[in-house]
Structure 1
Amino acid sequence: MSAQSFVRWMIPSLFAYGLLQCILRFLQAQNIVLPIMLSSGLTALLHLLGCWVFTYKTGLGYKGAALSVSVSYWFNLLLLLLYVCYSHSCKETWTGFSREAFSGLLGFLKLGIPSTFMVCLQNWQFELLLLLSGFLSNPDLQTSLMSISQNTSSLVYVIPLGVSAAISTRVSNELGSGNPKAAKLAVFVASSTIVAEGLVVGLVLISFRKIWGQIYSQESQVEKAVASMMPWIALSHFFDGFQCVLLGTIRGCGRQKIGALVCLCSYYAVGIPASILLGFVLHKGVKGLWIGNICAIFVQDLVLIIFTILTDWEKQTTKANERMQNDAKPSNTDFPDPSYWICNIQAYKCSSSVSLSFE
């Protein structure tokens, strides 16, 4: 009942989060990242205060914690909306809202729906592992261990997630401006960076494995269990970061359907069966569930690497250019069609153009 109540209080954050993602992509497409960083940093600082106030001072408890998340999302959204409306950087790419904005809705759905499945399939698999841990022996310990492991993984995952957003934007920019070699080089640089990041973060996690559990619990059993899980968390982070960059490349090329299919097959045809086999049949517990997840990520990496190596970058550039040329020009000069202004944002800025090339 407590979990159900917590989720209900989180509902307002869904609307803010969805709108926030639209604003983030709009700004990232123009290479405007500093305002995003500053607004996120300010929101994070205020969230600490807000979480304390809503949780303890209002008497709402965990409900207040959920409410503070919603308030933080709406605050971050408000900051970026103000920036878009009043900033000199966006004066040519945002001139107001009109009905013309909906004329490119079908094109956005072709891109957005597969992208949604990519994210959902990953997150649902993560949550399924937590549910499965509740059916293991000593469920209190197992679910606590899985929850701590997932929390730790999510904490360090934000690093490759940022690189993924960067490579997605960079690849689409370069393809849209007719630079296939630059797009390919960007993928190589991002991959090299994330490999180095994975090694560094992995070593840090392993080095602090004996004290990391103390942050979450003072029970020696939990601390020892967390310590034994840290090397596997480090390994999964290394593979997970790599697939995050590769999925960003897939998105930058407009090949979301391929990404969604790879996620579906790797997580649900390989990962979940492997987790059940190792966790329940071979009695490896949470460690077995996590190793099954690593198997899924490894398979996903392997398939995505093959797709990336076999990518014809010249062909992707041609598709991007064809998409831009075939886009209908806006009939309302007050606010261009979304698929038009997204493909020409960088042209407005006398830089490269952004491509939405669909498979």
Structure 2
Amino acid sequence: MEEGMLLLEGSGDGVERLTWRVLGEEVKKVGYLAGPMVVVTLSQYLLQMISMMMVGHIGELALSSTAIATSICGVTGFSLLLGMACGLETLCGQAYGAKQYRKVGTHTYSCIVSLILVCVPISIVWVYMEKLLTLMHQDPLISHEAGKYAVWLIPALFAYAALQSMQRYLQSQSLIIVMLLSSTAALCFHVPVCWLLVFKSGLGNVGAALSIGLSYWLNLIFLAIYIKYSSSCEPTRVTLSKEAFTGMGQFFRLALPSTVMICLEWWSFELLVLLSGILPNPQLETSVLSICLTTIAFLYTIPFGIGAAASTRVSNELGAGKPQAARMAVCAAMAIAITEAAIVSAALFASRHIWGYAYSNEKEVIDYVTGMAALISIEVIMDSLQGVMSGIARGCGWQHLGAYVNLGAFYLVGIPVAVVLGFVLQVRGRGLWIGIMTGATVQTTMLAIITCCTNWQKQAIKARERICSDEYKANECY
């Protein structure tokens, strides 16, 4: 036994010292969840990326309109639904750990109903996308095409709402293989269907939007069939009842800060692209920053998947009343995150001279991207650490703290620093990126402090209180 190790419950005297072997076992548990979750996240990200790549071969108008529509639809729609669904990680994960299986199904229905209701006003905004873009003084042709794309993307919005809810339901129970199979199947379906609808049907960029919707619905149907008929879901399978509607209040109390936490960070990067458009030589600056952000978004699927695994392990252990086991899960997840950050950032920096060719053949763009490689590699490290710690925050129910951290880090520090460096000190695109990287560093530091200073015993008590229904007294839940 080694001194200074964590303590775990379970021995004859109530505690058992954590050895490297025990930590290794927890790393395996987190890794078993993280690997498939990375693939699931990556598969869903590739749906829109592949659609954009195919549309890019139609023409400049199709590509620019699709890019604008995708950005605005992400900000006003998909980011909101993703953020709200992440609130389910706390509720379902802790309820499953406490063996309150009926609550897992009820919370999921509350999430589905809530997200579908939110889709209605979002759809109205998307219907008027063309007029909104025109009011923002965008090119009329681009506004028209972007408006059509957004309207045809509305079916995907409703499928995405239910899909995210079901994925959190399965994730909380560590049923991740079915999500892996369904998401990869949907991606394999998407590639030929998108090609047919974009190039052979005459629909053009509208066909790309339609193919995304079809792929989301196919993924959703796969998961719905599995949940309905699989014996693995039998303990948590419930019918839609009044409890799902009365539970919407509890869901929104976690979903709203969860949405703010995710959207504040998402929107800050979108704002970075807008700011690059008013720099001198905006075509070069916007192209380079778009390449950097696309790369970061692609690589972020890895820590997001690890964070989802950490959220599941932490929420399950807190729900089961095992605070030290939850702390061990945090240690294991952070060990994986640090390893992943080192490998990915080093690989990215090593490939800095050829990385830009994946996006452009222009020497000026490639040289600029090569010069940004060191900054991007540092951002990869920050994203890897904060992505996992954000998952831990969701597992604990710290979404409100995450919202405050992101507000301060990006909008009180990151964006102002970016504006000063980019425009006042004339560092331009590099200055904008250094500013957002400064915000990410503050965010990561604050999340690390919160994680390290956490009283896990108190978190377990809060989890049990959250799980207890109104009809139970608090002490009956222990």
Q: CA deviation at 1:50?
A: 2.0
Aligned with residue 145 of structure 1, among 282, 288, 309: 288
RMSD: 1.7
Q: 1:44 to 1:327 in 2, by over 3 A?
A: farther
Structure-2 separation of matches of 1:7 and 1:123: 19
* Matching of residue 277 in structure 1 with residue 416 in structure 2: no
Residue 17 of structure 1 corresponds to which residue in structure 2? 160
Residue 12 of structure 2 corresponds to which residue in structure 1? none
Deviation per CA, 1:121-147: give whole Å up to 9, x if none: 111111101111100111111111111
Aligned with residue 246 of structure 2, among 98, 103, 112: 103
Amino acid at match of 1:86: Y
Q: CA deviation at 1:7?
A: 3.5
Residue 125 of structure 1 corresponds to which residue in structure 2? 268
Deviation per CA, 1:63-121: give whole Å up to 9, x if none: 22222222211211111111111111112211322333212111111111111111111
Residue 254 of structure 1 corresponds to which residue in structure 2? 397
Aligned with residue 165 of structure 1, among 300, 303, 308: 308
Q: CA deviation at 1:11?
A: 2.9
Q: 1:67 to 1:212 in 2, by over 3 A?
A: farther
Residue 263 of structure 1 corresponds to which residue in structure 2? 406
Amino acid at match of 1:191: M
Structure-2 separation of matches of 1:230 and 1:328: 57
Residue 190 of structure 2 corresponds to which residue in structure 1? 47
Residue 208 of structure 1 corresponds to which residue in structure 2? 351
Residue 440 of structure 2 corresponds to which residue in structure 1? 297
Unpaired runs of 5+ residues, structure 2, are 1-142
Amino acid at match of 1:43: A
Q: 1:141 to 1:62 in 2, by over 3 A?
A: farther
Amino acid at match of 2:437: I
Q: CA deviation at 1:24?
A: 0.7
Residue 37 of structure 1 corresponds to which residue in structure 2? 180
Aligned with residue 430 of structure 2, among 287, 302, 319: 287
With structure 2 as the length reference, what TM-score do the two structures score?
A: 0.67
Amino acid at match of 1:263: N
Residue 199 of structure 1 corresponds to which residue in structure 2? 342
Structure-2 separation of matches of 1:220 and 1:9: 37
* Matching of residue 315 in structure 1 with residue 458 in structure 2: yes
Residue 176 of structure 1 corresponds to which residue in structure 2? 319
Structure-2 separation of matches of 1:294 and 1:98: 46
Q: 1:98 to 1:160 in 2, by over 3 A?
A: same
Q: 1:10 to 1:212 in 2, by over 3 A?
A: farther
Residue 223 of structure 2 corresponds to which residue in structure 1? 80
SS of 1:91 mapped into structure 2: helix
Structure 1 window deviating more from structure 2 (155-164 vs 199-208): it is 199-208
SS of 1:135 mapped into structure 2: coil
Q: CA deviation at 1:326?
A: 4.0
Structure-2 separation of matches of 1:304 and 1:278: 25
Unpaired runs of 5+ residues, structure 1, are 330-343, 345-352, 354-359
Amino acid at match of 1:78: I
Give aligned-pair identity as a percent: 45
With structure 1 as the length reference, what TM-score do the two structures score?
A: 0.88
Q: 1:50 to 1:244 in 2, by over 3 A?
A: same
Residue 365 of structure 2 corresponds to which residue in structure 1? 222
Q: CA deviation at 1:327?
A: 4.3
Residue 109 of structure 2 corresponds to which residue in structure 1? none
Q: 1:180 to 1:87 in 2, by over 3 A?
A: same
Task: Flag as ranges the 4+ runs of structure 1 deviating above 3 A.
Answer: 2-9, 325-329
